[in-house]
Amino acid sequence: MRKPQERLKDILDAIAKIERYAARGQEAFEQEELIQTWVLYHIQLIGEAAARLGKAFHESHPEIPWAQIVAMRNVVVHEYFGVDLLEVWRTVERDLPVLKHQIEALVKRLEELGYGG
């Protein structure tokens, strides 16, 4: 079983991969299917990693919007053809930078506490 810190680093890795292509801008995202697919796939990974951290971990770290992260993953997976790309882009621009900061702070806090998982 993977440790929480490994799952948190999975989230940070997925965010970094999204950032790489989001840097091309909204127009590229709207026009290039491969970028859309890339971003959606990594949003799935973020949600999956978040879900697998478990309820107890979520409750121990309520500053992070775990339910919304998992819900976004569920929308991407189960309502794929109904995904609103404008809302996905807003998530990339507005929410991912905040989430990145929160996860980085959490990883640092866990490391300082010597939390092994």
- At 82-108, the pLDDT tens digits run 899 999 999 999 999 999 999 999 999
pLDDT band at 45 (very low <50, low <70, confident <90, very high): very high
pTM assigned to the model: 0.93
Domain enclosing residue 36, as ranges: 4-109
Q: Could you give the CA distance from residue 43 to residue 46 in angstroms, rounded to a whole number?
A: 5
Q: Could you give the CA distance from residue 31 to residue 66 in angstroms, rounded to a whole number?
A: 30
114 belongs to a structural domain: no
* 29-52 mean pLDDT: 97
> Is residue 83 helix, strand or coil?
coil
43 belongs to a structural domain: yes
| Catalytic annotation, residues | 73, 78
71 belongs to a structural domain: yes
Q: Could you give the CA distance from residue 71 to residue 80 in angstroms, rounded to a whole number?
A: 13
* 14 Cβ contact partners less than 8 Å away, ≥ 6 residues apart: 42, 43, 45, 46, 49
Q: Cα 40 to chain center, whole Å? A: 10
Contacts by 27-30, CB closer than 8 A, 24 or more apart: 29/85, 29/89, 29/92, 30/85, 30/89
116 belongs to a structural domain: no
117 belongs to a structural domain: no
Decide: residue 52, CB within 10 A, 0-12 exposed, 13-18 middle, 19+ buried.
Answer: middle
Q: Provide the domain count of the chain.
A: 1
pLDDT of 116 higher than 70: no
Q: Cα 22 to chain center, whole Å? A: 14
